[in-house]
Structure 1
Amino acid sequence: MSLIIAGERSGAGKTTITLALLAALKSRGVPVQSFKVGPDYIDPMFHHYVTGRPCRNLDPILTSEDYVRKCFAKYTQDCQKPPQYALVEGVMGLFDGVKTAHQPDKNDYASTAHIARILDLPVIFVIDCSRLSGSVAAIAHGYCTLDSRIKMAGVVLNRVGSDRHLELLKDALEGLNLPVLGVLRRTDEISIPDRHLGLVPSEELGDLDAVIERLAEIGNECFDWGSLLPLLEIKTADVGQARCLPHQWGGQHERHSTFKGLDLIKIAVARDKAFNFYYQDNLDMLEELGAELVFWSPLEEKMPVDVEGLYFGGGFPEVFAEKLSENKRGLEAVREAILGGMPVYAECGGLMYLCEEIIDFEGKNWRGVGVIPASAVMGKRLTLGYRQCVALQDSPLLAKDQVVWGHEFHRSSLTLCYEGEEKTPARLFEIRGISAQSTSELEGWGMPNLHASYVHLHWGATTELPARFLESCVKFKQQK
C-alpha cells in the first residue's frame, strides 16, 4: 500500500507536505521510496536528497500505463534495498491532466487522479486554507465526489492561521466523514527559493540540511501518524511472490545481445549545477544494457578521455553560462569529440550548451561549444507541454520516421547564426502538441552522430532508444 499526495491546485503545498512526510519518516530511520507524477525533475531531486533513494517519475504519456505499474511495482518490491514505506507526490490539481487520443472524451489523462486509478492507491488531499474557512467543506466534498473511483484517505489542512481558524475548518468538515490527517500552520520558516523554471535545485542550496531538519520536526508534530503509517507501509502480502523482481526492464536478464563480449561502453554524463535534469530510469537503463557512466562537470572539468558517447541532460546552463564559457578546455574537448564522430545525446540545456553562444536574461553573450550554428536566447515566453515527435532523420537515438512522446519546458529559443546548408544541421523533429488539432513545427538539431533537442524523453517504455544509442557508441569505438 502507499499514498498519493494531491492538491486542489498547483501551489496548495503538495511538495512541502511530501517533503515533511519523507523527512519525518527518514528521521525515524525507516527506508522510504518516493515517486513523482509527471515529467518533473526538480521535485525528485529534493525527494532523493531526503530519502537517499532516487525518486521515480510516473508519467503514462512519456511512457505508458503499463510502465507506470511496472515502475511502481519494481521500486516498492526492491529485493536488494526493500523500502518499508512508499509515497507518491502528485502534480498540479488532482484532476488536472490532458485530453489525448487515449481518452478523447476526458481531460484528466496523466493527472494525479489517473495515477491513483492505475495503481489503486488512496489519496491524501491537501487544501490551502489560508483564504477560506467554512468553504473548505464544499471544496473537499466536490473533489471527493467527482470521481467515485478515487479513494480519499483524508485531508491535510495547510496554512492554517490560528486555533480559531482550525476550529472553523474542522467544524465545516465534520459532516463529510473525511479524516483530518494533518494540520500545518502558516509559517515563513520553510522557504525554498525558486527561479524561472521552478524551485532552485537541491544541489545549489547550502542550507538545505537545516530546512530538511525543520521539515522533519514539522512532519513529526503535525500529522496523525497512527492513521498514516498503516496506509504508507508496504505489506509483504501485497507483493506476494513478486518481491524480488529482476532489475532489467522488459524481461531482459542479460546484457543486450549487441553488447555481449564487449568491454563496457563508457558514456560521459554531464552532471553538475548546470546539468542535472535526468530521469534516473534513463541512467539505469544505460547501465543495465552494459554502459559505464562517467559523470563529469562541464563547469570545471575537461571531458573524460576514453569514452564512446556523450549525454547532456537539461538544467540551467543560462544561469552558469559565464563559468561554462570560461572552461575553454571543456568546450574544445566536447567540440572535437562531436566533430570526430562521437555519438551525442543532448536535451534542452544540453542543446543550448552545444550552440555557438548562450545569451542570458541580461542580454550578455557567453561562448558555447559551437557545433550548432545558433544562439540560445533567453526570453520571457515559457514553452511548456507534451509533444508528439516524428523523427525527420536518423540520429544516434532514433530512426527516421520513428514517433516518440516527449516534454518541453524552457524559456529560451534558438536563433540561427548562419545561413546555408553547409552550416545548418538538418532539423531533427517534426513536433506536435498533444491534441490532433495542434499545428506542427520543426525542432531540434541533428547530425549523423548528434541528437540535440528541447524535447525531454523518458526511455522507460521504449528500450530501443538507449539500445540504439549504445549501438552507435559501439560502432564509434570499433572505428577508433
Structure 2
Amino acid sequence: MALVVAGERSGVGKTTVTMALLAALTRWGDRVQSFKVGPDYIDPMFHQFITGRACRNLDPLLTSETYVQQCFAAASQDAEFALIEGVMGLFDGVSGREDVASTAQMARLLNLPVLLVLDCARMSRSVAAIAHGYRSFDLRLHIAGVVLNRVGSDRHLTLLKEALEPLGLPILGVLRRQDEITPPRSPLGDSCPQTNCQRWEKLCDRLASLAETSFDWNQLRPLLKTSQTKRRPGQCPAVDAKIQNPKSKTRLAVARDRAFSFYYADNLELLEQLGAELVFWSPLQDTALPEGVGGLYFGGGFPEVFAAELAANAAALAAVRAAIQSGLTTYAECGGLMYLSQSIVDFDGNAWETAGVLPTAAVMGKQLTLGYRRAIAQQNTFLYRQGETLWGHEFHRSHLTHSSENPLYHLRPYAPQSPAVLEGWQSPTLHASYLHVHWGARPEVAARFVAACHNHLAT
C-alpha cells in the first residue's frame, strides 16, 4: 500500500502536506520513499532534501504505463512507507476528455487510495459539495480521506466537520492558516533547498512538528505502509539484458550544482547500469573538466539566476568550449542549452558570457513555454534515428535569438491541432535542446549516449 496526495486544484497545499508527512516519518527514523506525478523537478528536490532518498517521477506520457508500475514497485521495495505527490488538481491532465497524465490516472494505474487536500479558506459548508463531487466523479478511485488546509478558527473547523459528517469521509488532517510553513516558491530558482540549506532545515523541522499533531496517524500509517518485503536499495527498473553494455566503464562528466540541478534520478541510474561512471562537477566552481571523460551531460536548472557567477568562471567556459569543439560527446537540455549559447541575457537585460558553442543567445522573458511535446527526430544523430518519435517536456522562460539551420526535432504539443515547431541544435557529437526527456521507457537512447562516449575514448 501507499498513499497519493492530491489537491482539488493547484495551490491548495498538497506540497506542504506531502512535505509535512515526509518530515514526520523521517524524524521518526522510518524509511520512506517519495514519488512525484508528472515531469516536475522542483518538488522532487524538496522531497529528497527531507528523506535523503531520490524522489522518482511517475509520468506515463514521458515513459509508459508499464514503466510507471515497474518504477513504483522497484523504488519502494526497501521502504517502509511510500507517498506520491500529485500534480495540479486530482483530475487535471493534458486533456479535458480523459485522465491522461493526471493524478487520477496515477492512482488508478497503481490502485492506490487518495488523500484529498481541500483549501478551506473562504468557505464552510461548500466543502461538502466539493468533497462529494471529487469522490463521485470517477468511481474507480478510492478517496481514503481529506486534509482540511487553511482552517481559520475553531468555529470554522466546527462548521467544516458538520458539513462533511453526512458524507462519512474521514478527516485525516487539519492544518491552520500558517504562511510560515509554506515552501518558498520562486520561478527563479532561489527557492531550491541547495541555495539555503539552513532555511530549509528549519522549515522541515517546523513541518515535522506540525505533522505530529495535525494528522490522524492511527489511520494514516496503515495507508502509507508498503507491502514490499525485499530490502535491496530502491532503484529504477533493471535494463533489458538485450541492450549491450560497453566492456569497460566510461567516465561521463555531469554538470551538477545550484545552476544545474534538473536530472531525473532514473536517467542517472540508467546511465550507470549501461556502463557509465558518473563524475559530477560544477560549472560554477570548478575551473577544469574532470579528467578522462568521454562525454558531457548538462541538465536543466536555473543558469539565468547564476549567470554572473557562470560568466566569472572563464576557465570553465573555455574548457567546455574547447572540449566540445574537439569533438567530445555532449548532451544538453534546456539550462544546458542556454549555457552552451553565446550569452544569457537576464531579466534585467544584462548579457552574461557563456560557453559560446552555439551561434545564438538565450534571452529571458516573461512568457513561459510549458507543456508536453511529441518530438520527431529530423535526422540521424548519436542519440536518434531519423523519424524516431518520443515524448518530452518543455519548461522555460527564455528564447533563443537564432534558430538552428539543422534542427533536431519537429515538436508538436499534445493537442494535435496545436502548431508545430522545429527546435534543437546538433552536430555529429553534440545534442542540445530545450526538451527534457525521461529515458525510462527508452533505455536504448541512453545506451546510444553511453556508446558514443565510449567510442570517443576508444578513438
Deviation at 1:44, TM superposition (A): 0.4
Write out aligned runs for 1:19-58 (5 A).
19-58=19-58
Where does residue 465 of structure 1 map in the other structure?
445
> 8 Å contact 2:16–2:182 — kept in the other structure?
no
Counterpart pick for 1:397 among 383, 403, 425: 383
Counterpart pick for 1:447 among 413, 427, 446: 427
- Pair 391,385 (structure 1): closer, same or farther in 2 beyond 3 Å: same
Where does residue 410 of structure 2 map in the other structure?
430
Where does residue 211 of structure 1 map in the other structure?
203
Runs of 4+ displaced beyond 4 Å: 242-248
Letter in 2 for 1:467: A
Output the aligned Cα RMSD: 1.7
| Residues 1:112 and 2:103 are matched in the alignment | yes
| Residues 1:95 and 2:91 are matched in the alignment | yes
Counterpart pick for 1:303 among 275, 286, 289: 289
Deviation at 1:190, TM superposition (A): 1.5
**Which secondary structure does the structure 1 equivalent of 2:36 belong to?**
strand
Write out aligned runs for 1:184-223 (5 A).
184-196=175-187, 200-206=191-197, 207-223=199-215
**Which secondary structure does the structure 2 equivalent of 1:74 belong to?**
helix
Letter in 1 for 2:79: P
Aligned-pair identity (%):
56
Where does residue 351 of structure 1 map in the other structure?
337
**Which secondary structure does the structure 1 equivalent of 2:454 belong to?**
helix
Counterpart pick for 2:364 among 361, 375, 378: 378
Q: How many residues align?
A: 457
1:131-155 Cα offsets, whole Å, 9 max, x none, are 1111000000000000000101000
1:18-73 Cα offsets, whole Å, 9 max, x none, are 00000000111110000000001010011011111100000000000000000001
- Pair 191,276 (structure 1): closer, same or farther in 2 beyond 3 Å: same
- Pair 196,16 (structure 1): closer, same or farther in 2 beyond 3 Å: same
- Pair 86,146 (structure 1): closer, same or farther in 2 beyond 3 Å: same
**Which secondary structure does the structure 2 equivalent of 1:158 belong to?**
strand
> 8 Å contact 2:188–2:305 — kept in the other structure?
no
| Separation in 2, partners of 1:122, 1:28 | 23
**Which secondary structure does the structure 2 equivalent of 1:350 belong to?**
helix
> 8 Å contact 1:96–1:107 — kept in the other structure?
no
- Pair 208,182 (structure 1): closer, same or farther in 2 beyond 3 Å: same
| Residues 1:177 and 2:168 are matched in the alignment | yes
Letter in 2 for 1:136: V
> 8 Å contact 1:268–1:304 — kept in the other structure?
yes
> 8 Å contact 1:345–1:397 — kept in the other structure?
no
> 8 Å contact 1:42–1:199 — kept in the other structure?
no
Counterpart pick for 1:279 among 257, 264, 276: 264
| Separation in 2, partners of 1:125, 1:247 | 28
The normalised TM-score by structure 1 is 0.92
> 8 Å contact 2:239–2:273 — kept in the other structure?
no
Where does residue 8 of structure 2 map in the other structure?
8
Where does residue 456 of structure 2 map in the other structure?
476
| Separation in 1, partners of 2:188, 2:39 | 13
| Residues 1:84 and 2:80 are matched in the alignment | yes
| Separation in 2, partners of 1:147, 1:243 | 35
Where does residue 421 of structure 1 map in the other structure?
none
- Pair 199,229 (structure 1): closer, same or farther in 2 beyond 3 Å: farther
1:65-94 Cα offsets, whole Å, 9 max, x none, are 0000000010111xxxx1100000000000
Of residues 432-441 and 36-45 in structure 1, the stretch that sits farther from structure 2 once superposed is: 432-441
Letter in 2 for 1:50: I
Deviation at 1:194, TM superposition (A): 2.3
**Which secondary structure does the structure 2 equivalent of 1:384 belong to?**
strand
| Separation in 2, partners of 1:259, 1:193 | 43
Letter in 1 for 2:213: E
1:161-217 Cα offsets, whole Å, 9 max, x none, are 000000000000000010000000001221433222678211112311110000000
Deviation at 1:248, TM superposition (A): 7.0
Where does residue 120 of structure 2 map in the other structure?
129
Where does residue 219 of structure 2 map in the other structure?
227
> 8 Å contact 1:342–1:476 — kept in the other structure?
yes
Of residues 399-408 and 160-169 in structure 1, the stretch that sits farther from structure 2 once superposed is: 399-408
| Separation in 1, partners of 2:450, 2:172 | 48
**Which secondary structure does the structure 2 equivalent of 1:57 belong to?**
strand
- Pair 328,56 (structure 1): closer, same or farther in 2 beyond 3 Å: same
> 8 Å contact 2:245–2:274 — kept in the other structure?
no
Letter in 2 for 1:37: V
1:384-417 Cα offsets, whole Å, 9 max, x none, are 0000001112223222211110000000000029
| Separation in 2, partners of 1:144, 1:197 | 36
| Residues 1:161 and 2:152 are matched in the alignment | yes
1:101-123 Cα offsets, whole Å, 9 max, x none, are xxxx8232010000000000000
Deviation at 1:276, TM superposition (A): 0.1
> 8 Å contact 2:69–2:109 — kept in the other structure?
yes
| Separation in 1, partners of 2:70, 2:416 | 29
> 8 Å contact 1:124–1:156 — kept in the other structure?
yes
> 8 Å contact 1:308–1:476 — kept in the other structure?
yes
**Which secondary structure does the structure 2 equivalent of 1:257 belong to?**
coil
**Which secondary structure does the structure 2 equivalent of 1:220 belong to?**
helix
Deviation at 1:250, TM superposition (A): 5.2
| Residues 1:290 and 2:296 are matched in the alignment | no
Q: Which runs of 5+ in 1 are unaligned?
A: 100-104, 418-423
1:310-347 Cα offsets, whole Å, 9 max, x none, are 00000000000011011111001111111111111100
Q: Which runs of 5+ in 2 are unaligned?
A: none
> 8 Å contact 1:343–1:476 — kept in the other structure?
yes
> 8 Å contact 2:74–2:237 — kept in the other structure?
no
Deviation at 1:235, TM superposition (A): 2.6
> 8 Å contact 1:314–1:348 — kept in the other structure?
yes
Letter in 2 for 1:259: P
Deviation at 1:252, TM superposition (A): 3.5
Where does residue 326 of structure 2 map in the other structure?
340
**Which secondary structure does the structure 2 equivalent of 1:416 belong to?**
coil
1:230-274 Cα offsets, whole Å, 9 max, x none, are 1111135xx6xx8769967455469x53502x2x10000000000
> 8 Å contact 1:344–1:396 — kept in the other structure?
no
| Separation in 1, partners of 2:372, 2:219 | 37
| Separation in 2, partners of 1:247, 1:144 | 33
